[in-house]
Copies of this chain bind each other. A is one copy, B any other.
Amino acid sequence: MNTYGKQFRITTFGESHGAGIGVVIDGCPAGLPLDTAFIQQELDRRKPGQSKITTQRKEKDEFEILSGVFDGKTTGTPLTLMIWNEDAKSKDYAHIADQFRPSHADYTYTEKYGIRDYRGGGRSSARETAARVASGAVAKLLLHPLGIRIQAYVSQVGKVKLEKEYSQLDLSLTENNIVRCPEPAIAEEMIALIDATRKNGDSIGGVVTCVIKGTPAGWGEPVFDKLHAELGKAMLSINAVKGFEYGSGFAGVQMLGSEHNDAFYTEEGKVKTRTNYSGGIQGGISNGADIYFNVAFKPVATLMRDQESINEKGESVTVSGKGRHDPCVVPRAVPIVEGMAALVLADFYLRNATSKLR
């Protein structure tokens, strides 16, 4: 199904080369002032053509409100945002109409549905993430008055890795460069690597790190819908994601419990932990400390070079590298990761309203 969330619930629709991409947000409380400039600003962070290291496809990605707002505020009824398609050159795709591009969804969609919209990947296009960013921006507007701040940045491109942890960085510098890495020197290296990869008609992977500050203690559900399990699902649902880890993550498996346990103490009446290997989540529920996690993105499958593959009849074909695509998705993935994180938190915020008698 194309729905995410239980109480702050989004349903996305639309294809890369159809009328556009839309999202229905159901469950947003009434009375929220809808800052449309902010939503547009978030969309601008994701939009194509924003720099030399992203796809050169030009779309303004402007959105229209189709329902749910009156006098500038949400009404509690479904809030629908639509991003119309503009630069949809369907003919760009005629040559791959019956081809299965390597590591794309062409083959699997055909197996599942018996039919697929081959234009630009159709529904499997990363263009669908515009709807996530738009609805994620609404979620951010809901969370903002609670003091919750969500900030993501690029921490790795190929082998170029930002070794510092988030707490050692000045995250306010993230948007200062086109790769969205808060350490200027590393950012330069990343940009150079992506640019070289692009010129080579190739693509490369990367990692986005996300930090959430200000989440109150007590959010999340104890068993299946653990806070980090939902964050993980949300991140893994983004195109090209191959892995998710939070807190100590994969590195934590090498630690001893006596090192890894986060000792509690009290400071000015507030419960704190001396370390934060838990990543702000214990037993699936937030403990008030910073939540942080990493998201691994593979190199995108579309290359500007020829590749061997097969067509729908199973015959060998050469897939040629036409079109306009990102050599590396992580710079544009930053607002997507933030948006999905906001959607997860907004949902738990509403779900938590009835956890106990008040």
Q: Which residues of A contact B (CB under 8 A)?
A: 1-4, 6-7, 9, 11-15, 18-20, 22, 24, 26-27, 29-32, 64-68, 70-71, 73, 75-80, 82, 100, 102-105, 107-109, 111-117, 122-124, 128, 156-159, 197, 202-207, 216-226, 228-230, 232-234, 236-237, 242-250, 252-266, 269, 271, 273, 277-279, 281-288, 294, 296-303, 305, 307-310, 314-316, 350, 352-358
Contacts and interface: CB of A to CB of B under 8 A. Distances in A.
Contacts of A222: 2, 77, 105, 109, 112, 123-124
A285 B78 contact: no
Contacts of A277: 103, 298
The majority secondary structure among interface residues of chain A is: mixed
B223 A108 contact: no
Given A75-B123, A257-B299, 16 more contacts: A3-B26, A7-B354, A13-B80, A76-B112, A76-B113, A100-B271, A104-B282, A112-B222, A228-B236, A242-B245, A242-B250, A249-B296, A258-B303, A258-B307, A269-B314, A350-B354
A30 B112 CA distance: 9
Contact of A237 (B114, B223, B310): B223
A245 B303 CA distance: 24
Q: How many copies does the complex hold?
A: 4
Contacts of A230: 233
A282 B108 contact: yes
B357 A32 contact: yes
B250 A77 contact: no
A269 B66 CA distance: 37
